[in-house]
Structure 1
Amino acid sequence: MARDYTALITSEHRTAPRFVATAGAVTGALAMTADVTRSIPDAFDVETAVGAQLDIIGLWIGQSRLIPNVLLLQFFGFSGNPAALPFGEEDNPSGGGRWYEEGEDYTATTVLGDAEYRTLILARIARDMSKGTTAELLGSLSFIFGGALVALDDPGDMTISVAIGRYLTLVERAIIANLDILPRPAGVRISRRVMFNSERYFGFEGQANALSFGEEGLPEVGGLFAEEF
């Protein structure tokens, strides 16, 4: 908050209105400039930046908000297609997907919203800085996905599987699957990507927060399986 420096004027000049006004104008402008300067680090913090500030961070690291031909269009489709929609309901056709026309593009260029763009920026930063160790990869993935529980499986064949402990939006899944932005060691391929509910996931003894199978008639008792994307 800008400080009122006119309160520091000595008594012999405090009764001179033009002197007080001049001092107020000069020091007030300097104080407001100092306030703006102090606000810059928070405005350009990747965790809190929005809009134009987030665009500038993207410019610094070489990642545009405009993503070409990645987002899957939501046509009518079947289970297994992450973008597919069911039939619309009677009196509410907007709830379903439309039929695909032969020759029509099935992907679209999209301008990412702040939330998805932030995820992409974090992934790009993590990948650019990654040294490829297992501990660092786990830390990088948690950093990208806001501290979510993450896991890696390394079968020793130059591939890894990645598990992310939160559900991802369709846009997040599309950019992760198509832009190859998750950090990994050079020459190593990500063979499988899954997402799961970190508060209620099916797992095994010794795994933090893991649950067993649900009981018949009581499915809410057990954990949920991971979903591949």
Structure 2
Amino acid sequence: MTCVDDFESVNPRLDRILTQYRESPKLIHLIRTQLRQVEMVAQAICDLPSFFDIDTAVGDQLTLLGKRLGFPREHCVCVTQPVFGFSCGDDDGLQILGFCEGASWLDCGVLGVSYVTITDDELYRKFLRSRIYQTQAYFDTDSLKTVVRMFWGDQAMILDRNRGRVVVAPGRDLTAAEKAVLQLYPRVLPVPLGIGIRFHLYSVTAVFGFGTGWRGFCQGDVTPGDPILTEDDSPILTERDRPLLTDAVDTNPVWMCALDVKPYDC
């Protein structure tokens, strides 16, 4: 939107006044005054949209954008409730509390609800961009690949997609902030309704399977070793013309673990 200078939009409209009315200075002054007030309002709001650009908006502006997109900062999520007991060092991730500390019994429903607020603007911005993909129904593979890489980096990938589900892999360890909002990702990923979203949260993407893109036995991550050299410092090659290494380890790929983070229920 182009901002106008002072009286830039006033004078052209004064020129439209009929000749017989131009001899009335009071009328001309009244019209000029009223037009100038409207012009001042236009000047005040002409750059307002620039404060709500999703690429540059921060703080409250980004919050308002999120509300318009139907994805506020605060969300209800499932959490593990504290249980009554005595800590033994290995509690399987449970929070153990004692008497009069608001704990529940283990068999009375460990899961409950809580609220998480996305305070980090850059993380929230990624969610809003993904939300735009979702609202525009960009459900193709390339769009989903773009979104998962936007969230987690270039190593992120779509690991599997068939039988009514899609499995995405961040390809790295998630940060504490990303783990806190893990249940929110399926709510904005551009995936059609009825298609389940699962996560493979291993830091490696070498996954065992058959066919293109999968790894077979001993095709996991490779620990590099040192080449074995001859007397003239030339590497000894195998039958496939590959250097013969010492202390190199070929590991088996991991199994795909399709985790359901239960974005809408516990």
* TM-score scaled by length of structure 2: 0.47
**Structure 1: how far apart are the matches of 2:249 and 2:179?**
25
Give the deviation of 1:58 after TM superposition. Answer: 0.5
**Structure 1: how far apart are the matches of 2:249 and 2:61?**
43
Pairing 1:202–2:206 present: yes
Q: Report the identity percentage.
A: 22
Pairing 1:164–2:170 present: yes
Query: Given that residues 62 and 125 in structure 2 are in contact (C-alpha distance below 8 angstroms), is that contact kept between their aligned partners in structure 1?
Result: yes
Q: How does 1:1-229 map to 2 (within 5 A)?
A: 37=47, 41=50, 43-68=51-76, 70-73=77-80, 75=82, 78-79=91-92, 84=93, 97-99=95-97, 100-102=103-105, 106-114=112-120, 115-145=122-152, 149-155=156-162, 157-168=163-174, 169-176=178-185, 180-190=187-197, 192-197=198-203, 201-202=205-206, 212=221, 228=259
Between Structure 1 and Structure 2, how many residues are aligned?
169
Gaps of 5+ in 1: 1-29, 86-96
> Which of the pair is proportionally richer in helix?
1
Secondary structure of the structure 1 residue equivalent to 2:200: strand
Residue deviations 1:117-155 (CA, integer Å, cap 9, x gap): 334323322211233222222123323446552224123
- Given the superposition, is the C-alpha separation of residues 130 and 214 from structure 1 closer, same or farther in structure 2, using an over 3 Å criterion? farther
Secondary structure of the structure 2 residue equivalent to 1:162: strand
Give the deviation of 1:106 after TM superposition. Answer: 3.1
Give the deviation of 1:162 after TM superposition. Answer: 1.6
Query: Given that residues 126 and 150 in structure 2 are in contact (C-alpha distance below 8 angstroms), is that contact kept between their aligned partners in structure 1?
Result: no
**Structure 1: how far apart are the matches of 2:126 and 2:70?**
14
- Structure 1 residue runs of 4 or more that deviate by more than 6 Å after TM superposition: 218-224
- Given the superposition, is the C-alpha separation of residues 203 and 110 from structure 1 closer, same or farther in structure 2, using an over 3 Å criterion? closer
Gaps of 5+ in 2: 1-39, 84-89, 98-102, 214-218, 225-246, 262-266
Task: Supply the AA of the counterpart residue of 1:202.
Answer: A
**Structure 2: how far apart are the matches of 1:173 and 1:53?**
24
Quote the RMSD (CA, aligned, Å): 4.3
